[in-house]
Amino acid sequence: MSAHCQLTGSKPGFGNNISHSHRRTSRRFDPNVQRKRYWLPGEGRSMRLTLSARAIKTVDSIGIEAAVARIRARGGKV
């Protein structure tokens, strides 16, 4: 699964692990993405979205119809 949110567009960030001796090795900060299934009453079907935990709260707040409209406005395929 790609660590990419369909609603917010958040992707992995990159940085360094720093050991006790201060040696640096590269690491990745992945967003907390989950696969969540929603029922879309306007289209009469369910859909599965890859969303971050923050985006799931946004969908709960604005509703699935508005969230799908935002995803489509960003150019995402739903």
Beta-bridge partners for 24: 18
Dist. CA 71–CA 51, nearest whole Å: 11
pTM for this one?
0.85
Q: Would you say residue 44 has pLDDT above 80?
A: yes
Q: HSE-up of 71 (CA within 13 Å, CB side)? A: 23
Q: What are phi and psi of 50, to 5 degrees?
A: -100, 105
Mean pLDDT for the chain overall: 95
Close Cβ partners of 4 (under 8 Å, ≥ 6 residues apart):
10, 11, 31, 33, 50
pLDDT band at 1 (very low <50, low <70, confident <90, very high): low
Q: Which residues contact 24 (CB under 8 A, 6 or more apart)?
A: 16, 17, 18
